[in-house]
Amino acid sequence: MKIEIWSDICCPFCYIGKRKFEKALSQFEHRDKVEVEWYSFELDQGMKTESGKNIYDYLAERKGRSREWSEKMHEQVTAIAKEAGLNYNFDVAVVSGSFDAHRLIQYAKTKGKGDAAEESLFKAYFTDGMDISDLASLIKLAPEIGLDAMELSLILKSEIFTEEVREDEKRAARIGVNGVPFFVLDNKYAISGAQDPETFLEALRSSFAETVLTE
């Protein structure tokens, strides 16, 4: 049973969705038969790193709202993340593009480390305030993920895995993904957003039951 997940590192609900899905998967009776694969999705493909701009002003400008509105929104998201066991620290978040982080994930997937890369990058961005567009910072994550730092450095300083990221995004467009996180279960069920674990668990069971019946 294959679970495909489209996600962006700088999407706060993608990290929350990952935790909620993991909780559901831990309760799923056939979790040993589940394969999870992560796919690249950029919420803002043209996004440039703006180290001098905080995340509150960025969202306010993007949505055409006030700074006060943005702060309240981030407070709400922080509270939701805390309920999922995550520590969000938006005060130190760096407004940055995620393209090279996605190339790192694509490389990690070839080593069976896709999930580890997602987890490490999410924490680096939302908790530690890392600039995920900075190549040197990305390379420093290699040992934590289980990757070779020298090899990762060579990859990130080239154009390798660019096409893989773009192909994921093209496929997302073909199947109608316009927001993340987006989960596809065995090409049968699609779940959008950071749903409750119960919703994920019900979908896992239904999808697995249908797969068994058709075999």
The pLDDT tens digits of the residues spanning 22-52 come to 999 999 999 999 999 999 999 988 788 877 7
> What does the DSSP 8-state code read for residue 194?
S
For residue range 104-120, what is the model confidence (pLDDT) as tens digits?
Answer: 999 999 999 999 999 99
Find the mean pLDDT for residues 69-78.
98
Strands across the sheet containing 189-192? 35-40, 2-7, 182-185, 189-192
pLDDT score for 214: 64
pLDDT score for 45: 86
Cis peptide before 181 (omega within 30 of 0): yes
Rounded CA-CA distance 42/6 in Å is: 9
Per the CB < 8 A criterion, the answer to whether 128 and 94 are in contact is no
> In the predicted model, what is the mean pLDDT of the chain?
95
Rounded CA-CA distance 214/210 in Å is: 6
